Amino acid sequence: MGVLSGMSFKEKALFIAFLALLVLQIFMFTVEIPSMKIKLDKVLETLESDLKRERIVHETVNDEYSSLKRKISLLEIYLANEQMEKLLSEERKLIDEFRAKYGKGHLLSIIIRDDIVAINDDRLLMVVYSDEGKKKLYYNPQTIAWYTIAAYEDFLEQENPGFLTFFFRGVKWMKDHCIPRYEAFDINGSSKILLDIRKNWWSEPFTLNNRTVRTVSIGNGKNAYFYFTLDKREDYNASLVILDDVRDEFEVKVGDWNRFKTVKRFHGNSTGKWIKINFSIGKGDLPNSSWTNKKSNVVFSISSLYPCELIIDELRIHSRTEIKLVDVGRKGRRFLSLEFYFFFPYASLNPPWTSAMAQGMFLEALGRAYEITGDPSMKETGDLILESFFVDSKSGGVRESDENHDWWYAEYPGSKNYVLNGFLTALKGLYIYYNATGSQKALYLFLKGVEEAKKHLRDYDGEYYTFYDLKRNIAKPYYHKYHVKLLSFLFNVTKDETIGFYLKKWSKYK
């Protein structure tokens, strides 16, 4: 495993013990959620310390680290559902105590909603969804971002410092639960593909014989890794393009971290020529463990018993229905993402998925927190959230593009629903973050988004009402009011005539 390489025996033992602890907690139904969170935080803190020492967390995305953070969130959700009745019975008391102490306000209007369960710890609140006919609790990062911003607005309006406690609790939750990601590459949007680039293993991209390539050092415990999502019902053919400049044998393996199977062995001849190494991946080669019964998360490993360097151009995977390509020389973006762990029927989104609306609201909260504290970690986190707005939805980001859209920030990436309020909310977050931090990237993304909005506002004008999305679903009254509120914000900061025109027109709709 990538994290274990380079660790001492004692460190490996501690790492495995911590993972075992996470598995054991699943069966400890009687443990109180707050005490469980403390234990989980200790595990995460130790792992983060180890990973930072190994120059992984801040220099490249590590799939195991991201996977562990997801498992912690899913474990918290699991334990909350085991104690749902207890949480529901305690909620009324919590709300009454909150109302008595803080009175009315934006935050109260959120936590009293029927579909939200307020929780008196770092979990903040959870949302009740119907899942396979049963009610279940889930984190909704978007709702938690609303909670956080509402607390800030209450603080400004009521000048009660207690609201700042709720505000920073929300900021901390989002910082703790955002997932490190790496831009995925594909050529037809059919699948996410990740290239794990560790700086001490891979060279920077360079040009050789009109190809943009990288050199990777393997052997002595170092492997080159590629991550794919493949359809378990398909057979695949694959090819690896390298410069034949080695005499040692290396292997291409496929697996899921727990088990690897060799699918190709190659012995170099040092011909100095570009060669294509072909191999097949059958249904039986794919891991059984997966996040659905149709898809399988697959790890490709290129390894050698002997230290050697490979110059790699590309890895291509194709079946009857799809083609996937990793252009190794391309340098993708690293970013952070708040993830949703429930299926969302309206947009047919399977977990984990992300949202420009949640990302934008997180930016707004980070900007406000930076203004208050000057804490550089707020900007460091925000700058990595910003990167997701440059990454196309096909590659794991929140930017949606097609023949009519170029800089649309999608509330539901990949769905092509083009929901207006989510896009405008993301623009608001980008501007507030720019105004608080001076980030020129945030300003660039904001201005690109404003031009995109101006091109499409007419598409959402129904003459007597506004449309919620590009499918021409009529916006419910509260969504229409929110459209007007967001346009008012944008007009105040841009003074743009087109935005002003639709603000004036839509303000007259009832």
Residue range 346-358, pLDDT digits in tens: 888 888 899 999 9
pLDDT in tens, 29-50: 444 445 555 655 655 565 555 4
Closest CA to 99 of 124, 85, 118: 118
Q: Which two tokens stand for residue 10?
A: 């004692």
* CATH (residue range 193-331): 2.60.120.260
Ranges 100-104, 174-178, 424-428: which has the least confidence: 100-104
Structure confidence at residue 332 (pLDDT):
63
CA distances from 358 to 136, 147, 362, 503 (A): 21, 12, 6, 24
Looking at domain 334-358+366-510, its CATH architecture is Alpha/alpha barrel (1.50)
Which carries the bigger pLDDT value, residue 283 or residue 365?
Answer: 365
pLDDT in tens, 59-71: 333 455 677 778 7
pLDDT in tens, 291-315: 456 677 777 888 888 888 889 888 8
Burial of 243 (0-12, 13-18, 19+ CB in 10 A): buried
Structure confidence at residue 212 (pLDDT):
78
Q: Are 295 and 230 in contact (CB under 8 A)?
A: yes
Separation of alpha carbons 123 and 71, rounded Å: 15
Average pLDDT, the chain: 82
Closest CA to 67 of 283, 291, 235: 291
Pairing of strands 224-231, 193-196: antiparallel
Question: Above 60 in pLDDT, residue 176?
Answer: yes
Longest Cα–Cα distance of the chain, Å, equals: 79
Residues pairing with 309 in the sheet: 217
Percentage of the chain lying above the pLDDT 70 cut? 80
Separation of alpha carbons 113 and 146, rounded Å: 13
pLDDT in tens, 187-246: 443 344 455 555 567 777 788 887 878 888 888 878 888 777 777 788 889 899 999 888
Question: Above 90 in pLDDT, residue 458?
Answer: yes
- Report helix, strand and coil shares of the chain as percent, to nearest 5: 45, 25, 35
Give the dihedral sign, CA 405/410/412/418: negative
Is residue 375 very low, low, confident or very high in pLDDT (cuts 50, 70, 90)? very high
pLDDT in tens, 82-99: 888 888 888 888 888 888
Q: Are 494 and 434 in contact (CB under 8 A)?
A: no
Residues pairing with 471 in the sheet: none
Quote the pTM value: 0.70
Q: Residue 243: phi, psi to the nearest 5?
A: -90, 120
Structure confidence at residue 292 (pLDDT):
54
Q: Where are the domains of the chain?
A: 9-85, 193-331, 334-358+366-510
Structure confidence at residue 189 (pLDDT):
38
pLDDT in tens, 309-321: 889 888 888 887 7
Question: Above 60 in pLDDT, residue 290?
Answer: no
| Strand order from edge to edge, sheet including 249-255 | 193-196, 224-231, 295-303, 249-255, 260-267
Question: Above 50 in pLDDT, residue 163?
Answer: yes
Q: Which two tokens stand for residue 317?
A: 């995977």
Structure confidence at residue 372 (pLDDT):
96
Closest CA to 223 of 195, 242, 183, 263: 195
What does R_g of the chain's alpha carbons equal in angstroms? 25
